[in-house]
């Protein structure tokens, strides 16, 4: 089956996609976009989180054919003119990245949270990131990173 989608602003077309395949597989194995991670393939870990028509979803639970004609943004698409997005930079600087496997999903989920809520509280952050598991950091540094990104994004908006 042929799939045509817009990925990170670019029109992409792939052929011979198996009908039972996930969007995650298409992104990683057919479009050479390995940023979204495959850790559980059952919606539990959030490492595969991408935007599908502006809504964060687990790419492992979207059938490839369901993404046809839709717009996808992956963690690779968040960079701004070749520079890390402020959310990505905050994760690096706050020490919220250890093995890094969970990071792409957390970055997308955080990006979405900060689009909706300028200065989220700790409970709001925990709720928004409840679908993203991290086995390394113990989450505290991730909360630090979200606050840091929120501060920077709100100051840059004021300027």
Partner 1 sequence: MDFLRPDSWADALAAKAEHPDAVPIAGGTDVMVELNFDRRRPAALLDLTRVDDLSQWYQQDGLVRLGAGVTFARLISELGDQLPGLAMASRTVGSPQIRNRGTVGGNLGTASPAGDAHPALLAAGAEVEVESVRGSRRMPVSDFYVGVKRNALEPDELIRAVWIAPATGPQQYSKIGTRNAMVIAVCAFGLALHPSRKTVGTGIGSAAPTPRVAAQAGTFAANALEEAGLWESRGELPPSLAQEFAEQVQAAASPIDDIRGSAAYRLLSLSVMARRCLVWAWTDYRKAA
Ligand X SMILES: Cc1cc2nc3c(=O)[nH]c(=O)nc-3n(C[C@H](O)[C@H](O)[C@H](O)COP(=O)(O)OP(=O)(O)OC[C@H]3O[C@@H](n4cnc5c(N)ncnc54)[C@H](O)[C@@H]3O)c2cc1C
Residues 97-116 that bind ligand FES (CB under 6 A): 97-102
**Could you give the 3-state DSSP secondary structure of residue 95?**
coil
DSSP count for the chain of H helices, then E strands: 5, 5
**Chosen residue from 42, 155, 156, 159 binding ligand X by CB under 6 A:** 42
Q: Are 68 and 23 in contact (CB under 8 A)?
A: no
Is residue 20 within the footprint of ligand X (CB under 6 A)? Answer: no
- Least Å from the CB of residue 11 to ligand FES: 25
Q: Are 72 and 94 in contact (CB under 8 A)?
A: no
Q: Are 73 and 51 in contact (CB under 8 A)?
A: yes
Query: Which of these, 31, 146, 36, 51, lies nearest to 101 by C-alpha position?
Result: 36
From the list 25-33, 41-49, 75-83, 84-92, the region that binds ligand FES by CB under 6 A is 41-49
Tell me whether residue 84 or residue 133 sits nearer to partner 1 (CB atom): 133
- Least Å from the CB of residue 68 to ligand X: 16
Interacting residues toward ligand FES by CB under 6 A: 38-41, 43-48, 58, 60, 97-102, 134-137
Interacting residues toward ligand X by CB under 6 A: 42-44
């Amino acid at each position: 089956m042929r799939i045509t989608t817009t990925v990170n602003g670019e029109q992409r077309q792939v052929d011979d996609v198996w009908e039972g395949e996930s969007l995650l597989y298409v992104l990683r194995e057919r479009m050479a976009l390995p940023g979204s991670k495959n850790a559980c393939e059952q919606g539990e870990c959030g490492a595969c989180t991408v935007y599908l028509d502006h809504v964060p979803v687990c790419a492992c639970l979207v059938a490839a054919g369901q993404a046809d004609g839709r717009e996808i943004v992956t963690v690779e698409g968040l960079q701004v003119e070749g520079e890390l997005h402020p959310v990505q930079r905050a994760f690096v600087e706050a020490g919220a990245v250890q093995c890094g496997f969970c990071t792409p999903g957390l970055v997308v989920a955080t990006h979405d949270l900060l689009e909706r809520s300028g200065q989220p509280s700790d409970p709001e952050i925990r709720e928004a990131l409840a679908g993203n598991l991290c086995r390394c950091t113990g989450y505290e540094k991730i909360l630090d990173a979200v606050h840091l990104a929120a501060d920077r994004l709100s100051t840059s908006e004021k300027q």
